[in-house]
Structure 1
Amino acid sequence: MLHALPALHARRAGLACLGLFALLPTAVLAQTLTIGLANSVNSFDPHFSNTTSNFALTGHVFDTLIGRDAQARLVPALAESWVVVAPTVWEFHLRDGVTWHDGQPFTADDVAFTVARVPNVQGSPGGFAGAVRAITRVEVVNARTVRFHSAQPNPLLPNDLASVQIISRHAGTDANPPDYNRGSAAIGTGPNRFAGYRPGEGASFTRNDAWWGPAQPWARVNFRFIANDGARTAALLAGDVDLIDQVPGADLPRLRREIRVTIAERTGVRLIYLQPDFSREGGDVPSVTDNNGQRLARNPFQDLRIRRALSIAIDRRALAERIMHGAAIPTGQWLPEGSYSYNPEVGLPPYDPAEARRLLAEAGYPQGFRVTLTTPNDRYPGDLATSQAVAQFWTRVGVRTEIESLPWSTYVTRGPRQEFGFRLGGWGSSTGEASYLLRNVVGTYNREKGWGGPNFSRYSNPRLDAQTEQAVTTLDDAEREALLRQAVKLETDDIGMVPLFLLRNAWALRRGLRYEARSDEQTLAIAASPAP
């Protein structure tokens, strides 16, 4: 990963796409594409919220220096190549001739402005600061060359910068999220131009004919936020939308038989997990009491035996097969098998309710206790149903569990305030390696360092942090992978979170279209095209 080896391949692929779209008739190039999204987006500011849905939607307008293909491999984007020129210095060479949507030229100065802005977004619930925090200085060598300096070797910088969308200095100076929401600052270099964003409803774009990439077939792209699974499927079958994401597992068999519909699928990198509150030592954990509703003397989740009991009380295979209707893969870690830094020594936790009861008794809770499991109900496929099933598993071993079901907009506001005793979450390791989750979901919260922003539960393990730090500063790929595998084992042994399953991503689209299914679950207009 020290050199941009895929650059030539990506340029050839781009030229091939250009040739393909050049053959499309004018009528096809004038089409409108309408997409039904399961998840709404809480801001059009590209640095406001580190969620896949936000990143994918704003990515229609804003490019990154480095892109990712459907299998999460790095490919050139605004940067044509990148190389280590010193142990603590990366040099990026930018694409020539790129312009912003208002016609002004894209330069290295815009990159420097973006990096400075990312950690300082007004009101952000958890943005992309971790992706740039290791950068100590951005050196603008010339309009087409930029160098990133860090205090320590930073081999994962290309992976991290693939998560940062580039904004312009001239449009972004003094701009805040409301300026992006109304479009005044939403001037990018991407394949689409901003046409409108309606919180809770949707967004619309027009084609950017001056884009540096392959010509796009869609003159206009409309997104509709449709959280309800049944309504999303119905909208597709009624012809109100051309494409939907997060196809409900229960609907897949029926849609496969539907001659008007095509299904696109790929195993994803989205982990659905549970995480208890670690922020409190005492018994004032929200919604956790004894069986009589009285406050406990201490936080039970600080005890590894309790965490292990709750983990092995869950039948993950049943969740994947019955609740998710086969659209999930049960797991004990957070990367698909075969991924870089996947640890084959970490297996699927056993389903052992008898051992769970024994561990609870050993930890001082022979009669169990009460807990509320908080879950979003409109963010991940099967989120509420999964939480309800987990509640049943836990109640059977004596931990009487109630469900607090929240819309994502409320969940993501309350989570950073540590208001949940136990919560269901999701994390997509879009970098395709273990450190992305290690630094974000289970890394000790450190605003200055940029770690732990999505770690709402405030899990902290200094030994794990040190192991992760060593891994992400190791330049040798094989040595870094060995260190990351050790960190995976360390985290799973300590149960900083309770992994449940990886999602299998599915899109449904009207016949006559094709969609390149993505492991990162992003729903992109650029991935859709008329079928040949």
Structure 2
Amino acid sequence: MRKKSGMAKLLYLSVALCLLFSVIISGCDASDNSDKDAKATNAPANSANPAATGPTPGGTVKFIMSSTATNIGFPATDAASFTLYYNRPALESLGRYDGTGKMTPFLAESWQSDSKAKTITFKIKQGIKFQDGTDFNAEAVKWNIEQYVAAKRPEVKGIQSIQVIDASTVQLNLASWDIGLLDSIAYFVLMVSPAAVEKNGKDWAVSHPVGTGPFNFVSWEKDVSIKFKKNENYWQKGKPYLDAIEYSFIYDLNTAGNVFKSGGADVITQMTAETTLELEKLGKSTMQNNAKIYGRIGLGLMFDSGNPNSPLKELKVRQAVMHAVDTKAIIKSVLRGLAEETNQYYDSTAQFYNPDVKGYPYDPEKAKQLLAEAGYANGFKTKITTIPSYENLVTAVQSYLAKVGIDVQVVTMDVSKLIALTAGTWDGMTVYIRTLQPNAPTLIYRNFGQDAAYFSKNIIHPESLNKLLKDAIDAPDAEASRKAVLDMQKVLHDDHAMYFPMASPISSIFMNPKVQNLGMFKTNGYDWAPEDVWVQK
């Protein structure tokens, strides 16, 4: 039963890698059969049902996870972006993105940055408690940022010292100015209770999140479930509305789809293509996609360009690979048109998209010519390492490369093993999932910086790219930083062909119209606001 059609698995891919979980509500009033005539729409996921009069308390939301969790309570040592879904009920950050891609204060009251003095100052909201009853204050913020610094996370790179000015004010003193650092800290540094970690240890904290969030951690049974219950002392009065949140690990997509179609679930974000088409035809659910939000994902392939023993160390070979693959055809036939082709890091909807990038359009004869010029007229053997949900995409790439003489062995492993692999070295190519959030300098550095946590040990680091990364980070204002990022696109792709960007998927979710304020696909791809979710009775 494991085999699925390419259409089914790759439509799942476009959804799963953006959301990496499904949402199911059961054991609450949202999942009854009184909603059979609701029509499918493109209304936002948080739009109200016409009969809704306002938030009502109660209910349990169950999320079906597509990938196992490994760290839900000590985020400083977990660089996987998808974990932001798992720990969001318990852990919160200083800021959140709004619908325009602007970072706005959340746990922070306000902030100020001074490029000349090389400082960032956070003013912290007062009166907030961690779930263990200890104070959330400037000392706690300092401690949390220090954990990320100790873990050598690139999101906090460049902090020279952290100074507590008073109980609600923290000042960061930087070694050099970094225009993206404020957004990076406000978004990525999730606040956990220093007292809880110091009392129980970091190993304990990994599986026991204690934060300021709307839901308290209850239990984590590996590969079965993670459960949270309402935080009765949450700092936003009157919230959360739900009684509980539960993540269930269910990996069979047909089972998940059947549960939703039978009325046993209220929201589904991972499904086969057949389920998607059937749900659209039935017209009993609300649909929302991520076509117009910030923070979608990009998917493609990363080359082992820094491996001296790999044919892909040669620029012409990397260029040949991209010329050999008909990305448009793959999007149409395998992704069912639910993606936008892109020849660079961002897609055409983003402010960082550079229309002057030429890229490598489909041209198999050009690919053969480049291979011959690089000394590989008879082709060569290589690998593509993937995860199960990418197998059909990679198989399509494999078939195109075979036509120009490149013999590809497909190696499949689970997500956790792939993450570990890309932190070191790999042979040939590996699937490459990137987030398209607004903070471009930090995100690109996380992937291509010389000391980045992932990929850096196995790729080239051209001096022209290093300089532009520095220029984008050191820029005194947003426009200067944007110009450096635009120039960076040409260096990454036209000059050095460092990776194969391929596409940006368009993902969809379906939900019972009674589910309100889910918050997915509203701002940033990895964001949602569990404190605002409610179900109409």
- TM-score norm. by structure 1 comes to 0.83
Instruction: Measure how far apart 1:248 and its partner are.
Output: 4.1
Which one of the candidate residues 60, 79, 88 is aligned to 1:50? Answer: 79
Alignment of 1:132-151 (within 5 A): 132-151=156-175
**Partners of 1:242 and 1:180 in 2: how far apart?**
32
**What CA RMSD, in Å, does the superposition of the two structures yield over aligned residues?**
2.4
Superposed CA deviations along residues 180-239 of structure 1, whole A, max 9, x for unmatched, are 2442xx210012111122232231111223323462221101112233333332232244
Instruction: Measure how far apart 1:337 and its partner are.
Output: 2.2
Alignment of 1:311-330 (within 5 A): 311-330=322-341
Contact 2:301/2:499, CA 8 A, preserved across alignment: yes
**Partners of 1:464 and 1:230 in 2: how far apart?**
45
Greater relative CO (CA pairs within 8 A, separation 6+):
2
Counterpart amino acid of residue 301 in structure 1: L
**Partners of 2:417 and 2:444 in 1: how far apart?**
25
**Partners of 1:528 and 1:228 in 2: how far apart?**
26
**Partners of 2:421 and 2:180 in 1: how far apart?**
31
Which one of the candidate residues 371, 375, 379 is aligned to 1:368? Answer: 379
Call closer, same or farther: CA 1:527–1:314 in 2, change over 3 Å.
farther
Which one of the candidate residues 138, 142, 150 is aligned to 1:108? Answer: 138
Look up the match of 2:128. Answer: 98
**Partners of 1:65 and 1:93 in 2: how far apart?**
10
- The alignment status of 1:516 with 2:527, answered yes or no, reads no
Which one of the candidate residues 502, 506, 509 is aligned to 2:508? Answer: 506
Call closer, same or farther: CA 1:251–1:456 in 2, change over 3 Å.
farther
Q: Percent of aligned pairs with the same residue?
A: 20
**Partners of 1:353 and 1:528 in 2: how far apart?**
50
- The alignment status of 1:35 with 2:35, answered yes or no, reads no
Counterpart amino acid of residue 167 in structure 1: V
Call closer, same or farther: CA 1:175–1:483 in 2, change over 3 Å.
farther
- The alignment status of 1:415 with 2:422, answered yes or no, reads yes
Please state whether the residue corresponding to 1:227 is helix, strand or coil.
coil
**Partners of 2:60 and 2:486 in 1: how far apart?**
46
Call closer, same or farther: CA 1:72–1:39 in 2, change over 3 Å.
farther
Look up the match of 2:436. Answer: 429
Query: Structure 2: which 5+ runs fail to align?
Result: 1-46
Instruction: Measure how far apart 1:90 and its partner are.
Output: 1.1
**Partners of 1:79 and 1:302 in 2: how far apart?**
46
**Partners of 2:147 and 2:439 in 1: how far apart?**
26
Please state whether the residue corresponding to 1:218 is helix, strand or coil.
coil
Please state whether the residue corresponding to 1:333 is helix, strand or coil.
coil
Counterpart amino acid of residue 56 in structure 1: Y
**Partners of 2:269 and 2:343 in 1: how far apart?**
26
Please state whether the residue corresponding to 1:193 is helix, strand or coil.
strand
Look up the match of 1:193. Answer: 216
Superposed CA deviations along residues 52-80 of structure 1, whole A, max 9, x for unmatched, are 32122112211111112355431211112
Please state whether the residue corresponding to 1:55 is helix, strand or coil.
helix
Contact 2:115/2:476, CA 8 A, preserved across alignment: no
**Partners of 2:135 and 2:381 in 1: how far apart?**
59
Please state whether the residue corresponding to 1:30 is helix, strand or coil.
coil
Look up the match of 1:68. Answer: 97
Which one of the candidate residues 300, 324, 335 is aligned to 1:273? Answer: 300
Counterpart amino acid of residue 133 in structure 2: G
Aligned length: 476
Alignment of 1:263-412 (within 5 A): 263-267=287-291, 268-282=295-309, 299-347=310-358, 349-378=360-389, 383-412=390-419
Contact 1:314/1:394, CA 8 A, preserved across alignment: yes
Call closer, same or farther: CA 1:23–1:179 in 2, change over 3 Å.
farther
Which one of the candidate residues 234, 240, 250 is aligned to 2:258? Answer: 234
Superposed CA deviations along residues 407-451 of structure 1, whole A, max 9, x for unmatched, are 112222333231332111201133x1432342021222x2xxxx3
Look up the match of 1:209. Answer: 232
Please state whether the residue corresponding to 1:439 is helix, strand or coil.
helix
Contact 1:332/1:499, CA 8 A, preserved across alignment: yes
Which consecutive segments of 4 or more residues in structure 1 shift more than 6 A? none
- TM-score norm. by structure 2 comes to 0.83
**Partners of 1:96 and 1:206 in 2: how far apart?**
24
Please state whether the residue corresponding to 2:104 is helix, strand or coil.
strand
Counterpart amino acid of residue 198 in structure 2: T
**Partners of 1:280 and 1:52 in 2: how far apart?**
26
Look up the match of 1:293. Answer: none
Please state whether the residue corresponding to 2:526 is helix, strand or coil.
coil
Alignment of 1:80-91 (within 5 A): 80-85=109-114, 87=116, 88-91=118-121
Contact 1:233/1:247, CA 8 A, preserved across alignment: yes
**Partners of 2:493 and 2:301 in 1: how far apart?**
13
**Partners of 1:64 and 1:46 in 2: how far apart?**
11
Instruction: Measure how far apart 1:176 and its partner are.
Output: 5.1
Instruction: Measure how far apart 1:400 and its partner are.
Output: 1.2
**Partners of 2:344 and 2:172 in 1: how far apart?**
32
Counterpart amino acid of residue 63 in structure 1: E
**Partners of 1:502 and 1:513 in 2: how far apart?**
27
Contact 1:330/1:348, CA 8 A, preserved across alignment: no
Call closer, same or farther: CA 1:138–1:120 in 2, change over 3 Å.
closer
Look up the match of 2:189. Answer: 164
Superposed CA deviations along residues 471-508 of structure 1, whole A, max 9, x for unmatched, are 11112221111111111111112111110111212222
Instruction: Measure how far apart 1:261 and its partner are.
Output: 2.7
Contact 2:65/2:249, CA 8 A, preserved across alignment: yes
Please state whether the residue corresponding to 1:441 is helix, strand or coil.
helix
